[in-house]
Amino acid sequence: MSTAQRVASSEGSVFDAAAEQAFREEIRSFVREHVDDDLRARTDHHRGLTRQQYFDWQQTLVAQGGGAINWPREWGGTGWSVRQQFVFEEAMAQAGAPHQISFNARMIGPILLAFGTPEQKERFLPGTLTWEKWWCQGYSEPSSGSDLASLRTRAVRDGDHYVVNGSKIWTSHAHYANWIFCLVRTDVDAPKHAGISFLLIDLTTPGVSMRPVPHFYGAHVFNQVFFEDVRVPCENLVGAENGGWTVAKALLEHERLYSSRHGEAKRRLLRLRRLAERADARGRRAIDDPRWQDRIAWLAMRVQALEYLVMRGLDSLERTGEVGPFASTLKLKGIETNQAVDAAVAELLGPDALPADQAYDPESAAEAMGLVPEARYAVEARYFFRGPGIAGGSNEIQRGIIAKRVLDL
């Protein structure tokens, strides 16, 4: 029986400290068994996996019962409590497991469970779990980023189809995906929030095309997706026509809940500590410097505070079924905390962090430039976690949501 199945089968029993420790050890053993050196290196260096590696890793998780830990058991999930989910995510990150792309299990899955028809659930959820249906997110447009409700991609009803025209941008991993969940405008005369619908679009449909939007350091994650007279069956509408903004907000709450990246922050902090314990060319260790001791302690407190914030959000989700505007607090503090740890890594390494800016493969760059091996750990400092600080709504947008919906300003 898998780790997930063992824990799920004990539902109703007390998930006490001893059970939690045993669960963490099982996860560490699982990662040691299933994560090879290449996967571990790519994860440590934040280089991303190939499409096949992402797909194979998901099959491994599904086989162990952990492909969608937040889903109910009837759809291949675990039925775990919030605490069990939290421990699993944290322990996997700390053990060095690859990050699971969130579009399937964390975003469209919960939306289909909440808003999908029985037919849509039967049609889409099994393939969403196994990634036979690989999803990407079609929200932002070239002229509609922070003001998402100003989107202009049109969907015009034509019999039993919608005809879609427009484009989406910053579409992460669209070149890997075969489906996209998309916000489209179905009523141009309604107020901008009221004329939006939520469509599921097969990316192999005639009229769909895309082009890459490469990162400045050479990686290919983003894309622009174009729709030219794309015919989408009306049965692919999730929720009510012109009711897509409600669906969109619910999805963004799930996205922001898990964009706190608490597990990544803990993993980065562990790396910072390891680097601080290494002697430099002069035999000195940063960990012996009171200033670095203070810096690391301060970061550890921030990471601990982030953990408590995440637990509050998960508790709200379990009690009420939603996270609400608190999700913006989680995203904001999670990004700030990860950036603070990244900045410490770059400062600690000093000039040895440069290979992260010179090549996408930091190990090769460090070797070619004759720099210390520890420079390979600096790859995440290349961008100081800037991308996630924009994706899903920039930090400024999160502050605006908090001011309006929490502080009533």
One digit per residue, the tens of pLDDT, for the chain of length 409 reads: 354 444 444 444 456 788 888 999 999 999 999 999 888 877 776 667 889 999 999 999 999 999 999 899 999 999 888 778 888 988 898 888 988 888 999 899 999 999 999 999 999 999 999 999 999 999 999 988 778 889 999 999 999 999 999 999 999 999 999 999 999 999 999 998 999 999 999 999 999 999 999 876 667 889 999 999 999 999 999 999 999 999 998 887 766 666 777 888 888 898 889 889 987 767 889 999 999 999 999 999 999 999 888 888 877 777 776 777 778 888 888 888 988 998 898 888 777 666 544 444 444 444 444 444 444 444 444 445 566 777 767 778 888 888 888 888 8
Helix (H) or strand (E) holding 282: none
Of residues 89, 253, 255, 264, which has the active-site annotation? 255
Residue 378 near residue 356, CB atoms below 8 Å: yes
Q: Are 378 and 346 in contact (CB under 8 A)?
A: yes
| 119 lies in some domain | no
Which two structure tokens, joined as six digits, stand for 198? 């939520």
Cα–Cα distances (Å) from 308 to 20, 47, 114, 273, 294, in that order, read 17, 29, 27, 21, 21
The tally of domains found in the chain comes to 3
Asked, for residue 108, whether it belongs to a domain, the answer is no
213 & 276 share domain: no
- Please report which helix (H) or strand (E) contains residue 234, including its range: none
**CATH code for the domain of 47:** 1.10.540
What CA–CA distance (Å, rounded) separates 110 from 252?
11
Residue 9 tokens read as 């089968």
255 in active site: yes
Name the residue among 163, 171, 105 with its Cα closest to residue 133: 105
Tokens linked to 314: 């998960």
Range of the domain at 150: 135-243
Asked if residue 68 and residue 20 are part of one domain, the reply reads yes
Number of Cβ within a 10 Å radius of residue 209: 13
**Kindly report the CA angle at 111 between 70 and 62, in degrees rounded to 5?**
40
| Confidence (pLDDT) at 218 | 66
Q: What are phi and psi of 135, to 5 degrees?
A: -100, 150
Q: Is 332 part of any domain?
A: yes
Task: Say yes or no: 323 and 397 in one domain.
Answer: yes
Residue 178 lies in a domain: yes
For residues 234 and 274, state if they share a domain. no
CB 171 within 8 A of CB 267: no
pLDDT given at position 343: 87
Residue 123 lies in a domain: no
Joined tokens for residue 51: 């499409």
CB 256 within 8 A of CB 330: yes
CATH number at residue 191: 2.40.110.10
CA angle, residues 327, 329, 334, in degrees to nearest 5: 100
The Cα 65–Cα 56 span in angstroms is 14
180 in a domain, yes or no? yes
**Cβ proximity of 251 and 111 under 8 Å:** yes
Question: Are 263 and 400 part of one and the same domain?
Answer: yes
* 378 and 286 in a common domain: yes
Residues 220 and 214: beta-carbon distance below 8 Å: yes
157, 31: one domain: no
Q: Which three-class secondary structure string do you get for 142-167?
A: CCECCCHHHCCCEEEEECCEEEEEEE
Q: Which of 84, 96, 86 is nearest to 6 (CA)?
A: 84
- State the Cα–Cα distance between residues 341 and 22, nearest whole angstrom: 29
